[in-house]
Amino acid sequence: MVTETIELITPVLAVLVSLVASVLILASDKYPNIREGWTFLAAFTKFGLVMSMLPLILDGKIITYTIVEMLPNLPIAFKVDAFGMLFAIVASFLWIIVSSYSVGYMRSLKEHAQTRYYFCFAIALSSALGIAFSANLITLFLFYELLTISTYPLVAHIETPAAISAGRKYLTYLMIAGVSLLFGTLVVYHYTGTTEFAFGGIAGLELLPKTMLTILFVVFMIGCAKAAFMPLHAWLPAAMIAPTPVSALLHAVAVVKAGVFTAVRIILYVFGVDLMQASNLWLYMAYFVSITIILASVYAMRQNNLKKRLAYSTVSQLSYVVLGALLITPHGITGGMLHIPYHAFMKITLFMCAGALIVTANKENISEMNGIARQMPITMLAFTVGALGMIGMPPVGGYITKWFLLLGAAELDNMILIAVLLVSAVLNAAYFFPVIYVAFFKKPDHELEYKEAPLTMLVPIVITALISILIGVWPDAPGMFLDIVNIAVANVTGGV
């Protein structure tokens, strides 16, 4: 439980460092090595600043900093708690990984507009940390929209008609979501006089009529379209036309994680456990996201393009996070929160493997990957690690989050949700195992001449695959994700 609040400027610096780097990246347009040097310097500095706050958070403290108060009880402010720290560590660490991978990918394919690419990446990571450290809904909204705007050029990066169309769809869905989030924020401020996140939810919302409360909740969930609930998911598969490092950013580091992070913030820190339970909103929404979990898995099975199969997998897996929060039991919330970092490491491994196949073998469709593991064994072994984690098979970390989710559903004695979790695991296997089978056991159609991707791409793949195993073998390592999540869960459940 929280014991003390400390005012520090560190979260502001952590957000600003990549904004400063974005300017330096633009200024170094004609000097690629210097440009990418600024990217790495900012990434390591950002991660260092985030980690410098971790001991205080593990000690049960909260870090705050107010920038400006626009209206009474409506400041632009930061507050670092355990849940925000969880997202910040994932985003800042994986930026280092994706930066290395991006160098190998962008240079190998001789991609155009690389300065714009790194510039937008830097702003996106500032936005992600701004979301993680937001003290209230209005601050979160500002960074939420900045994230949308900064990632649009990345989605439309290749500038073909198809890419431009995908970018428009991306922007349309997420800007509408932003309007919905702002509307919900203003309603909360009107009725409660504040938008500040609170462990028990924002006081005063329980006084709203049930119909109004339900409508407000729906408005907020529409605002969380970055979490890709069906039918608000279409932007995500369309965005797979972007370069693979961008796909990794969308799926593991920033955008969709910002969506589920925001959804959990609203469920647990705006409405709160008690109000969600008393209003029965948790149950209706739990069934709604369960449909996404199952249906997106079915769609994934039908995709021959590997990136699109992974995209629909993400749509399904994101709803595990939201479902965990909706279970409103300590085990369920633990599973949901823990799935944010665990899914991030496993899914970024899968997407980086997909990118390695594109760069080295020019293969995007699963039907073209017969025997590809013979030439790219490290890449496909890493892919297998990520896939096993998604299915929930030990020793990769995914089995831990799914176990907690099953415990949460069992505590509620809800057989429907238990069945959803078990069936989804079977469906995960149904769309991942064929990829592994094709790569390892089918004979190549012709002699394969390519080999592994460049080390700047291969090393990040190996690192995230090994971490995916480590967090499954040693989940309770001191100071690791489970420690942070336990503090966050104790905060929102009152230590029950």
How many C-beta atoms surround the C-beta of residue 422 within 10 A? 14
Q: What is the pLDDT of residue 3?
A: 64
Of 102, 125, 111, 232, which Cα lies nearest the Cα of 163?
111
Q: Is the link from the previous residue into 454 a cis peptide, with omega within 30 of 0?
A: no
Place of tokens 């479902």: 323
Q: Which residues contact 464 (CB under 8 A, 6 or more apart)?
A: 94, 97, 345, 346, 348, 349, 352, 382, 386
Out of 235-244, 263-272, 297-306, 363-372, pick the least confident: 235-244
- Whether the pLDDT of residue 253 is over 80: the answer is no
Of 286, 87, 250, 86, which Cα lies nearest the Cα of 167?
250
- Whether the pLDDT of residue 478 is over 90: the answer is no
- Secondary structure class of 70 (helix, strand, coil): strand
CA atoms within 13 A on the CB side of 132: 30
Cα 312 versus chain centre, distance: 14
Euclidean distance between CA atoms 113 and 157, whole angstroms: 8
* Percent of the chain residues topping a pLDDT of 90: 73
Check if the beta carbon of residue 269 is closer than 8 Å to that of residue 347.
no
- Whether the pLDDT of residue 361 is over 90: the answer is no
Residue 64 belongs to what domain range? Answer: 4-493
Residue 40 to residues 96, 131, 488, Cα–Cα distance (Å): 7, 22, 30
C-alpha angle with apex 329: 325 to 331, nearest 5 degrees? 90
Euclidean distance between CA atoms 5 and 411, whole angstroms: 33
Q: What is the pLDDT of residues 404-440, one digit of tens each?
A: 999 999 999 999 999 999 999 999 999 999 999 999 9
Q: What are phi and psi of 136, to 5 degrees?
A: -155, 175
The reply to whether the predicted model has a pTM over 0.85 is yes
CA atoms within 13 A on the CB side of 379: 29
C-alpha angle with apex 146: 142 to 149, nearest 5 degrees? 140
Report the number of distinct structural domains present in the chain. Answer: 1
Q: What is the pLDDT of residue 475?
A: 87
Q: What is the pLDDT of residue 81?
A: 96
Euclidean distance between CA atoms 151 and 128, whole angstroms: 11
Range among 2-6, 68-72, 160-164, 190-194 rated most confident: 190-194
**Average pLDDT across the chain, whole number:** 91
**Structure tokens belonging to residue 225:** 């379209």
What is the arithmetic mean of pLDDT over 97-101?
A: 88
- Whether the pLDDT of residue 495 is over 60: the answer is no
- Whether the pLDDT of residue 446 is over 90: the answer is no
